[in-house]
C-alpha cells in the first residue's frame, strides 16, 4: 500500500529569496521560478502598456478611469501571481496602495506568452484568474504575433476573438481606443524581405 506524499506549501519568505533576475510566483502552493522575459516578450508587453496607459490611466485620448501596471505582484488567496500587465478600474481601486503587492483581483490581465511560461499561463494562471473573478484576459504572443481576447462568463473563459499580425482592433475592456497590433511586434514578419 502506497502512502500519499504530502508536499509542503511554498511560503512568501521562500519567494522573496529568489534572485531579482528571475520571476517568482506561487501557484497552487508550488513555488514557480521563471527566467526574466526575453526582449521580444518585454517589447510586446511594454508596447501594449504604453498604448493603454495614456488613454486609460492618463485619460489622454481616452476615457481614463484605470490603473495599468507592469508586472504587479498580486496575492489572491494562497496564490501569488505576477502577470505581465494588469488593470484595475478606479471605482474598485481608487488609489494605488504604498505596498509591495495588491490583494484585490484585477479587472483585466494580459499574459505575454513565451515558450517557458505558456503552459502555466494557459492552465493554472487562467484557472486562478477565473476563480478570483478577473473579468478580462488577453493572451499576447509576440512569436506568432497574435492577441487572444477572453471574457469571463459564468466562471468560464469565452474567447471573443483572435487577432493577429497587422490587425487594427477595438477590444474589450479597452474598446474605446484603436490598437494597431503592429506596434507590439518588435520586428517585421519573417516572410518580409529585409529592408535596405
Give me the number of domains the chain comprises. 1
Residue 163 CB neighbours (<10 A):
19
Name the percent of the chain lying above pLDDT 70. 92
Domain assignment of residue 119, yes or no: yes
Domain housing 113: 37-184
Residue 4 lies in a domain: no
Q: Is the pTM higher than 0.85?
A: yes
Tell me, yes or no, whether 157 lies in a domain.
yes
Residue 110: enclosing H or E segment and its boundaries?
strand 108-112
How far apart CA 83 and CA 109 sit, in angstroms, is: 7
Residue 137 included in any domain: yes
**Residue 4 pLDDT grade (very low, low, confident, very high; cuts 50, 70, 90):** low
**Is residue 159, in this structure, part of any structural domain at all?**
yes
Question: Is the previous residue joined to 59 through a cis bond, with omega within 30 degrees of 0?
Answer: no
Owner of C-alpha cell 509576440 = 142
Query: Which CATH number fits the domain that encloses residue 73?
Result: 3.90.1570.10
- Would residue 24 count as lying in a domain? no
Q: Are 166 and 178 in contact (CB under 8 A)?
A: no
pLDDT in tens, 146-181: 999 999 999 999 999 999 999 999 999 999 999 999
Amino acid at each position: 500500500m502506497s502512502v500519499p506524499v504530502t508536499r509542503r506549501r511554498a511560503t512568501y519568505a521562500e519567494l522573496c529569496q529568489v534572485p531579482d533576475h528571475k520571476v517568482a510566483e506561487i501557484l497552487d502552493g508550488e513555488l514557480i521560478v521563471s527566467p526574466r522575459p526575453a526582449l521580444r516578450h518585454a517589447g510586446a508587453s511594454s508596447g501594449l502598456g504604453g498604448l493603454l496607459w495614456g488613454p486609460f490611466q492618463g485619460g489622454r485620448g481616452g476615457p481614463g478611469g484605470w490603473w495599468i501596471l507592469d508586472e504587479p505582484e498580486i496575492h489572491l488567496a494562497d496564490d501569488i501571481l505576477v502577470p505581465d500587465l494588469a488593470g484595475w478600474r478606479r471605482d474598485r481601486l481608487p488609489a494605488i496602495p504604498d505596498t509591495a503587492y495588491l490583494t484585490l483581483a484585477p479587472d483585466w490581465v494580459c499574459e505575454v506568452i513565451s515558450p517557458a511560461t505558456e503552459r502555466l499561463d494557459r492552465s493554472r494562471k487562467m484557472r486562478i484568474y477565473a476563480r478570483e473573478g478577473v473579468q478580462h484576459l488577453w493572451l499576447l504572443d509576440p512569436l506568432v504575433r497574435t492577441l487572444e481576447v477572453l471574457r469571463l462568463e459564468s466562471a468560464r473563459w469565452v474567447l471573443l476573438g483572435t487577432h493577429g499580425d497587422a490587425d487594427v482592433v477595438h477590444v474589450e475592456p479597452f474598446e474605446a481606443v484603436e490598437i494597431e497590433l503592429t506596434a507590439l511586434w518588435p520586428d517585421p514578419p519573417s516572410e518580409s524581405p529585409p529592408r535596405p
